Copies of this chain bind each other. A is one copy, B any other.
């Protein structure tokens, strides 16, 4: 039952954000009593925390698979767009903003994940790309990785995307394309464009 509640919670939070979805909504959707939910989760804070925790676990698995299935760092970046497409098509863009504002403990978990896993993985990819001649050797790896993380955060900021007529996914795609062009060498750019043309 705990797994079913978590799955439903994740589904509803992703679609409508964490604010609009109450414990009542989740109970009604599952056809169970609120009491049953509270047997597994003492409060909404715990619920949001655990939903985010399993989201992170899933996300980690996806990135590990990506490392195996990609031919090189440029290919990996383009494949990562596919993951983002699936995730973002289900996600209310306000979600992370609301978690940050109303569930700081859960947000800390996410921040730690970004710092420990995503940031490190980005740095490894940047270094690999430089070694392979795809990324410019003069790149400041730490700063550029942090810039990329900052861009993703920025894209989730309502002040940023509310001005845009583009879909959330299109926005991500344009930001990633701009980011990549900013780091690619000539050799890297040809490979990048050849992957894009094959899609």
Contacts and interface: CB of A to CB of B under 8 A. Distances in A.
A79 interface: no
Contacts of A143: 164, 166, 171, 174-175
A172 to B, nearest CB: 11
Interface string A138-172: 00101110110011001001001001111000010
Chain A contact residues: over half helix, strand or loop, or mixed?
helix
A150 B147 CA distance: 10
Contacts of A166: 140, 143
Interface residues of A, number: 24
A105 interface: no
Given A150-B160, A163-B146, A140 B174 contact: yes
Contacts of A164: 142-143, 146
Contacts of A160: 146, 150
Given A143-B164, A144-B178, A147-B175, 18 more contacts: A140-B166, A140-B174, A142-B163, A142-B165, A143-B174, A146-B160, A146-B164, A147-B151, A147-B154, A147-B178, A150-B150, A150-B151, A150-B157, A178-B182, A178-B183, A179-B182, A181-B183, A182-B182
